[in-house]
Chains A and B, each alone.
Chain A
Amino acid sequence: MQQLGCRLQCRDNGSGNLSLDFLAGFTIFIIAFIWVATMIPGLFINVNANSVDYNAVAYRTGVILAEDPGTTGPVPGFPCYGHSTASGTGWESLPNKCDIARFGLAVSKNTPNILDTNKVIRFFCWTVSTVPGDLGNFSYPADYQERAVFGDYPYRFNISLRSAGQNQVLSVGDILPAGDYGYIRRDVLIKGSSNTTIDAGVRGLNNTDNVTYNQFSLELNQAELQEGVSGFPHQIDYPAYQIDPGSDSIMINITNLTGTLVHPTLIPSSCNLVGITFYEQLSGTSYLTNITTAITAYNLTINDTYVQTSLPATVNNSVSLAFRPGAFSAAENLDPAAPIFINLTFALNPPQQYLNNTGRQPFDYNYNPAQVTQPQLQSGVLEVAVW
């Protein structure tokens, strides 16, 4: 009897014996537990907490880029020391990336899906630095993450833009992964720039006197370009069609200069472009203020050959001035509503008639499609992928 009772209680006496019953039960339990524990994590392999919102982040980035014009000012939490930005400046012209709070490619907040070319170039061509020390370069992914993608998780992304007129694809970011990624595609219009081609022979822009120096002047009337002029619609409502000398690129081509000679067979012994000067008629004044030293951001091409701006230069048939975006910003800052005049001075020997509108109206660079090729809206595709 004593031994029988011990069988039931012996295991509690610390002698180190385990009953078979306990081993069997515990073994069954442990085997089942191990099997479940190895099977359940397989459920979670495909679930990544951050992957459920890749599409949402891609959509948000698409909206920020396609529908928002961007914001200047320091990135919240990362103050910029030692410099400030002029209000109203587009972020694309700021040399220091510290002053850019948020990217945005739209022309303005009232023109969603219409992108500005200068912003596109600055956003995608991120190896172009405009100041020493690479303060203007954007680095992938940190700078784009802080200013376009946002979020605490370090998303990787690829943003691509293709314009219908070009084969080249502008792109920022990694190569698309083989697996799943969040994606959005936006159709956009990209606003081009305006230009004018003046056929010197056809237009009858000659003078009537035989003079040594012939001046041809063009006018950029800022007030008219902002508000429109009678005959051409009210432009201030339509930033998508506006010509803005302060921030757009402007191109002036003068061709067929030999056609402007009265005797086209009697070529003068020398015909030189001797000067390009800029003036602005400030409000309230009746004289022209010389602003030539303030405007330097242009490329001069003579006879289809690019020249450094070392004048005088011999002119045969064509002169082309390509003003880079922001070339006239100094004039805009001086007076945003004043007309700007561009004077080209030609010197001929012997003195004779040439391209000259002294004493007449300067050539008006405005919204008249017969005179100036207006900015075209070119369709394009913007794709954002986030993973």
Chain B
Amino acid sequence: MAGLREDAQWIVLMGFLVSFSLFFLATILDQSVMVGQTTAEAVSEFPKDDIREIRSAIIESYTMPDHAAVQNDITVLALSRQNAIVTFSASSVGPYTLISIHYNNGVTAYNETWRSP
């Protein structure tokens, strides 16, 4: 049997080099797919329309004389169907009405103080 010869190790090393580069490229390729997905997830996760609806419902409710039931409905529906805590209150400063709105769905928190024009 020939003694241990190391002269041909370079062939195997070249083979390994090619393999590792293939693995590296495959990893990059796999990660690239996630880019598009996470962008879309970020868009879906931010409750833009929820906040807009709740905000306009709250402001509209303060224009009604009997707003207690309407506002209770908003709070209960937001909590049970949209998993969001909504609290709000109104005050008067001069001729303006100030409504402060707080929304939190566990991931996104939104605070606003709305002033009537």
Contact = CB atoms under 8 A, between A and B. Distances in A.
Is chain B in direct contact with chain A in the complex (CB below 8 A)? yes
Nearest to A12: B7
A60 B13 CA distance: 48
B35 to A, nearest CB: 5
Contact of A52 (B2, B8, B26, B33): B33
B18 A44 contact: no
Size range of the chain A interface in the assembly: 20 to 34
A43 interface: yes
Interface in B1-39: 2, 8, 11, 14-15, 18, 22, 25-26, 29, 32-33, 35-36, 39
A40 B52 contact: no
Residue of A44, A52, A55 ringed by the most chain B CB atoms within 10 A: A52
Contacts of B95: none
B106 interface: no
A52 B36 contact: yes
A26 B35 contact: no
B39 A53 contact: yes
Nearest to A67: B48
Nearest to B21: A40
Secondary structure at the A interface, as helix, strand, loop or mixed, is: helix
Contacts of A29: 11, 14-15
B40 A55 contact: yes
B93 interface: no
A236 interface: yes
A236 B39 contact: no
Interface in A35-85: 36, 40, 43-44, 47, 49, 52-53, 55-56, 59
A209 interface: no
A36 B32 contact: no
Given A29-B14, A40-B25, A59 B33 contact: no
B117 interface: yes
B64 interface: no
Contacts of A26: 11
Contacts of B40: 55-56
B22 A25 contact: no
Given A29-B15, A47-B29, A36 B22 contact: yes
A220 B116 CA distance: 25
A53 B36 contact: yes
Nearest to B25: A40
Given A43-B29, A59-B43, A52 B35 contact: yes
Given A26-B11, A53-B39, A55-B40, A112 B52 contact: yes
Interface in A341-379: none
A25 B39 contact: no
Interface in B86-109: none
A33 interface: yes
A43 B32 CA distance: 13
A35 to B, nearest CB: 11
A25 B8 contact: yes
Contacts of A25: 8, 11
Contacts of B18: 33, 36
Nearest to A29: B11
A16 B22 CA distance: 34
Nearest to A237: B117
Given A8-B2, A40-B22, A237-B116, 9 more contacts: A29-B14, A36-B22, A44-B29, A52-B35, A52-B36, A53-B39, A55-B40, A56-B36, A59-B43
Interface of B: 2, 8, 11, 14-15, 18, 22, 25-26, 29, 32-33, 35-36, 39-40, 43, 52, 116-117
20 contacts: A22-B8, A25-B11, A29-B11, A29-B14, A33-B15, A33-B18, A40-B25, A43-B26, A47-B32, A52-B32, A52-B33, A52-B36, A53-B36, A53-B39, A55-B36, A55-B40, A56-B40, A59-B43, A236-B117, A237-B116
